[in-house]
Amino acid sequence: MDSYYHFDNGDTHLPPGFRFHPTDEELITYYLLKKVLDSSFAGRAIAEVDLNKSEPWELPGKAKMGEKEWYFFSLRDRKYPTGLRTNRATEAGYWKATGKDREIYSSKTCALVGMKKTLVFYRGRAPKGVKSNWVMHEYRLEGKFAYHYLSRSSKV
């Protein structure tokens, strides 16, 4: 029973039933950190997408794998060139943050390594947008973990 299928046009063959199911900590410390340090890093299960040019219903077709959950690298777009606010609008609507950001800690050092923000997609424009069932979780590096590596990578 050595049946394998080809995955992601790469050299890796994965067995049937393989699922990409990383923890929040793994997403931050392995995938996101590697991407920040090396923009050419490509996670085999994580596609690159411009979320401001993609509607949520288009995302499944852009994903490398997954049926109900998809993972993407996307640069944060600033609302204003000199500002800090993030632009989360698309042509059809916008992503709105809900609840509090959740802290993600290293299981080895107990240090804060990142944050997880939950967003919901609304069709139309604020404040009259209509809430949809599309939910996105945004991860970012945080704390000493982010500053150490970001300052190091910016010197390269």
In this prediction the pTM is 0.81
Residue 4 near residue 13 (C-beta atoms within 8 A): yes
- Residue 130: CATH number of its domain: 2.170.150.80
pLDDT one-digit tens code per residue, 99-136: 999 999 999 999 999 999 999 999 999 999 999 999 99
Nearest to 115 by CA among 97, 138, 135: 138
In a domain, 142, yes or no: yes
**CA dihedral defined by 56, 60, 65, 69, rounded to 10 degrees?**
50
In a domain, 32, yes or no: yes
Per-residue pLDDT for 5 more than 90?
no
Per-residue pLDDT for 70 more than 90?
yes
| Containing structural domain, residue 140 | 23-40+76-154
In a domain, 35, yes or no: yes
In a domain, 49, yes or no: no
In a domain, 147, yes or no: yes
Q: How many domains does the chain have?
A: 1
